[in-house]
Structure 1
Amino acid sequence: MAYDLEEQEQIASIKAWWNQHGNLLTWVLIVALASYAAWTGWNTYQRNQSTQASQLYDELQKAVAAKDNAKVQRAAADIGSKFGKTAYAQMAALTAAKSAFDASDVKTAKERLQWVINNGSADEYKAIAKIRLAGILLDEKAYDEGLKLLSSGIPSQFDADVADRKGDILVAQNKIPDARVAYQSALDKMDQKNPGRQLIQLKLDAIGGATAKLVG
């Protein structure tokens, strides 16, 4: 099929443009396609990781229900080593810490909580780990270490829990005036409907602190 002069000029222009830019465009397309493939592959990988971690976490929960601490610890270790970047790893470590503590294995409980603090990707899980670890340090009379742990890196939504735990440590140190301030701060920052308020109020009253109105 013959081309008229205008069509031939257009074809010539396209060929010239392609000779100048075609190689670059090809590489741009290759990079774009590779990026899309990588993104798709990563999402698939993440979904697979999450699914497998979820299955292991279910096994861990069954072990908790059976009070099989050894199996709980094995499952938590597996999730942490294989799926350490998932939320399940942090939840598993927190659950395993409680299981170990209930089994009087304080050393393992501390290790699990410290793992969350060091490796957790969510500030909320790290905050829970810090507050629980501070409680263990309180039992061990490591008061300064516990207070230091609670001094930074905890989201504001945990302010009441942090103040409550600080109050416990300060009472153990016989720093009663400071403990009163901490407990009162916990009450001030805690939701009025939170049932935990009653326990904090009892602790405050026990050290002769100012009363706070309870919501029945």
Structure 2
Amino acid sequence: MDEFKTEEEQIAAIKNWWKNNGSSVLLAVVAALAIVFGYRAWQNNVESDKATASALYQQLVSISTQQAGLGDDQSASFIANELKEKFTDSEYARFAALFLAKQAVTAKDYDTALAELDFVLESNEDPRTIHIVNARKARILSAKGEYEAAHALLDASDEAFAPAYLEIKGDIYILQGDRESAKESYLAAFDMVKDAPQRAPLLGVKLSDLGVDTQSL
């Protein structure tokens, strides 16, 4: 503060500045501290939630891989629903929904299975997951006899999923009694994987059942 000639004038100027601006400075400091501590609290809460969700998911995996029984099924369903309700935006919630969908298919409760798979799609933007879920939905819809809706889901935007989608289309055509269309789909899929048959190990059997000698292809 070179413009002030005496130390007393400088002190007086500082006091005057503090009088006029001190409150706003204190508020800024308090706000900054609140943001810092609030962020730390939020971070700690996130880490705690992750740990809780992870523990619940491990319980779900443990129960579902043990010998199945009515009590085990109910426990697994309870845990899966807890994950969905309390950790909706987490990967664990989506894994739980996939588990519940599989459980519903086993019970032939196809509408519930579709609802669980829709939950996964609504909270996921990963193309690979979307392709996998749509494949499962297509099989469920075909089990319900909704063949056109099933076929509509099987348009692979990722070439890696094209053979699997064509094979599922073929399976659906078989259910529809359209063996010729099934053969066309299987052949198209086989042409994509014939150099790596492990990608679709049952295609050869399905084509053989339709009178196709895959050795000649």
- Report the AA paired with residue 55 of structure 2: Q
**TM superposition score normalised by structure 2:** 0.70
Per-residue displacement from partner, 1:150-180 (whole Å, max 9, x unpaired)?
A: 336x644333222221221123334444433
2:175 pairs with 155, 172, 176, which one? 172
The alpha carbon displacement at 1:59 in A equals 1.9
**Number of matched pairs:** 210
Structure 2 match to 1:162: 165
CA distance in 2, matches of 1:213, 1:42: 63
CA distance in 1, matches of 2:139, 2:160: 18
CA distance in 1, matches of 2:29, 2:183: 66
**Aligned pair 1:87/2:86, yes or no?**
no
Per-residue displacement from partner, 1:53-112 (whole Å, max 9, x unpaired)?
A: 111112212331242322222221111111111111111111222233234444433332
CA distance in 2, matches of 1:40, 1:192: 54
CA distance in 2, matches of 1:66, 1:112: 24
- Report the AA paired with residue 198 of structure 1: P
Highest Rg: 1 or 2? 2
Which fold has the larger relative contact order, with Cα–Cα distance below 8 Å and residues 6 or more apart in sequence? Answer: 1
Structure 1 match to 2:54: 54
**Aligned pair 1:116/2:108, yes or no?**
no
- Report the AA paired with residue 150 of structure 1: L
Q: Please tell me whether the aligned partners of residues 90 and 125 of structure 1 are also in contact (alpha carbons under 8 angstroms).
A: no
RMSD: 4.0
Q: Please tell me whether the aligned partners of residues 171 and 179 of structure 1 are also in contact (alpha carbons under 8 angstroms).
A: yes
- Three-state SS of the structure 1 residue aligned to 2:200 is helix
**TM superposition score normalised by structure 1:** 0.71
- Three-state SS of the structure 1 residue aligned to 2:145 is coil
CA distance 1:35–1:186, change in 2 (3 Å): farther
Moved more, 138-147 or 126-135: 126-135
Q: Show the 5 A alignment for 1:66-215.
A: 66-67=67-68, 68-151=72-155, 155-190=158-193, 192-193=195-196, 195-209=198-212, 211=214
CA distance 1:121–1:50, change in 2 (3 Å): farther
Moved more, 122-131 or 186-195: 186-195
CA distance in 1, matches of 2:163, 2:23: 62
CA distance in 2, matches of 1:213, 1:24: 84
CA distance 1:125–1:72, change in 2 (3 Å): farther
The alpha carbon displacement at 1:209 in A equals 4.7
- Report the AA paired with residue 58 of structure 2: D
| Runs of 5+ consecutive residues of structure 1 not aligned to the other structure | none
| Runs of 5+ consecutive residues of structure 2 not aligned to the other structure | none
- Three-state SS of the structure 2 residue aligned to 1:198 is coil
